[in-house]
Amino acid sequence: MTERDATDIYLDEDQFEGQAELEGQAEIEHWREAARRRAEEETRRAARQRRRLMLISGAVALALVLGLVGWKVYSASRAKSADEVALGGKRASVLFQLRAPDGGAAASVVVMHDRAASSGGMLAIPGDLGIDIPGEGVVPFSEALIIAGESLTRDALADLLGATIHGSFTFDPATFQAVVDRLGGVEMPIERAIVIDGETVVEPDPDGGVVRLRGAELLAYAVNEVPGETAADAAERFGAVVRAFLDRIPAQFEATANLFTALGVVGSGTMPSDQLAAILAGAAGDLRAETLTLGTLPVSADGLGALDPIAAAPVVRRVLGGTVQGLSTDGTPRVLVQFGISEEGARNAIRAEVLNSGYRYVDGGELPDALSSPRPTTTITAFGRNGQEAARNLAIAMNMDPSSVKLGEGEGVADVLVVLGADFEYRVLPNSDESPEAGIEAESGAETADTPAGYR
């Protein structure tokens, strides 16, 4: 190869390297241009997204404004009326009582109005019903006002029935008479002559029709004792009196509230007069619409006033409707205890068993034959799913076979019903009403000839 040839080859390689450099720069420019175009496209895309978001946000804001305006218009159209405010909710009930001269209750009913269901109920309460007053034990319902006052009386009845009673209102005789007279009296059929101060003032209609009664006459018919009449009969009669009273009460809340205001009706219970007016006016409307359910609480007819829980459950639920508490699903089960034996030590012991098991104790009083013919065996009846579990646990705590638990039909007034018999084994509690010596002997496990049967 000549020198020229070698020089030619060298120059060709140099040219090649220059060409490669030029091509590399062109490719770099190409990628730069592509990157610039992508950046511009991303910028345009982001701008479009921002515009879309602004449009969407504006539409949402507009929808919210329109919705708020619509809600305000709807709310204004659905503003609560005066009777809704006074009633205090969808439904409310009151323990309506007449005060006796001795300060007790001459007669009592629970009146309920359910605005949501456009219905109501009235449950007459026999005066001999036994209710458990904390610190006092079981007392006749007619005496509870004297012993415990309005609030505790109402709460004890609500506890026994398993229902919500929102307040109580006790009329003194003079105020009740004044209200009836202001209404122009009432019209109702009566079964016997009405006597005031030894004088017959009203005779029954011979054809069984209605007669008009003024305030004093209606009061006498409501509270005067009738020879041979049971407490349940008297309660049913007072229920008829209140029904006739409601038939004259205006169904409009404002009219009834104005009536009570004009007469200075303030009561001595735990419910303001405007709420009482809302309940009674609502119940009056229910009566006219034939949606007011009437009933009398079933109790024993022997004067001892023991609640009949099996018969009472459907009556309470039918009459008081939505105010009745459902059987416990996640709350504390209620255990109603009735006594087929007459032993104070047993009462204290079973109360402790129920409370220590984590359940709510409700005293149902002694059964009519508890003293004369004690029940030989204890029975436990469960209502509802939670009632079954609570009943079995309680049976174990009472040293009973859990398989002996019975299943009640329907829903009871409590989750568990216990009827205590002579087979209930217990120990006398040191702080019970029994003698201190008996309590000490029981705690030590000793038994003596003086220890009552069944004490351990």
The 10s digit of each residue's pLDDT in 111-128 is 999 999 999 999 999 999
For residues 278 and 159, membership in a common domain is answered with yes
Show which of 56, 79, 102 is a domain's final residue.
Answer: 79
Per the domain annotation, does 33 fall within a domain?
A: yes
Per the domain annotation, does 253 fall within a domain?
A: yes
Per the domain annotation, does 455 fall within a domain?
A: no
pLDDT mean over 297-302: 80
For residues 234 and 113, membership in a common domain is answered with yes
pLDDT at 179: 92
pLDDT at 239: 96
For residues 203 and 190, membership in a common domain is answered with yes
Show which of 271, 304, 323 is a domain's final residue.
Answer: 323
DSSP designation for 117: T
pLDDT mean over 229-241: 94
**pLDDT surpasses 80 at 130:** yes
Question: Which H or E run contains 420?
Answer: strand 416-420
Q: Which of 267-276, 320-329, 358-367, 416-425 is the least confident region?
A: 320-329
Per the domain annotation, does 418 fall within a domain?
A: yes
For residues 158 and 25, membership in a common domain is answered with no
pLDDT at 248: 95
For residues 368 and 305, membership in a common domain is answered with no
pLDDT at 271: 86
Query: From the CA atom positions of the chain, what is the Rg in Å?
Result: 40
pLDDT at 266: 67
* Mean predicted lDDT score pLDDT of the chain: 83
DSSP designation for 402: G
Q: Would you give the end-to-end CA distance of the chain in angstroms?
A: 133
* CATH number of the domain encompassing residue 380: 3.30.70.2390
For residues 319 and 355, membership in a common domain is answered with no
Q: Which of 138-147, 175-184, 258-267, 408-417 is the least confident region?
A: 258-267
**pLDDT surpasses 50 at 76:** no
For residues 408 and 299, membership in a common domain is answered with no
pLDDT at 240: 96
* CATH number of the domain encompassing residue 150: 3.40.630.190
**pLDDT surpasses 80 at 172:** yes
Instruction: Collect all residues with Cβ–Cβ distance below 8 Å to 333 and sequence separation of at least 6.
Output: 359, 360, 386, 387, 389, 390, 414, 415, 416
Show which of 323, 358, 384 is a domain's final residue.
Answer: 323
Question: What range does the domain containing 438 cover?
Answer: 334-444
Closest by alpha carbon to 102, among 173, 175, 158?
A: 173
For residues 142 and 279, membership in a common domain is answered with yes
Q: Would you say the C-alpha torsion 117, 122, 123, 127 has a positive or negative sign?
A: positive
**pLDDT surpasses 90 at 212:** yes
For residues 281 and 215, membership in a common domain is answered with yes
Per the domain annotation, does 449 fall within a domain?
A: no
Which phi-psi region, left, alpha or beta, contains residue 114 (left: φ > 0; alpha: ψ -120 to 50)? beta
Report yes or no: 419 and 447 within 8 Å, Cβ to Cβ: no
For residues 281 and 422, membership in a common domain is answered with no
**pLDDT surpasses 90 at 182:** yes
For residues 112 and 75, membership in a common domain is answered with no
Per the domain annotation, does 182 fall within a domain?
A: yes
pLDDT mean over 34-40: 70
pLDDT mean over 377-394: 91
C-alpha dist (Å) from residue 272 to 157, 248, 265, 267: 20, 21, 10, 8
Per the domain annotation, does 237 fall within a domain?
A: yes
What is the band of 369 on the pLDDT scale with cuts at 50, 70, 90? confident
Per the domain annotation, does 402 fall within a domain?
A: yes
User: Which amino acid is residue 266, in one-letter code?
Assistant: V
When comparing pLDDT for 5 and 423, which is higher?
Answer: 423
**pLDDT surpasses 80 at 35:** no
Number of domains in the chain: 3
For residues 122 and 31, membership in a common domain is answered with no
pLDDT at 18: 58
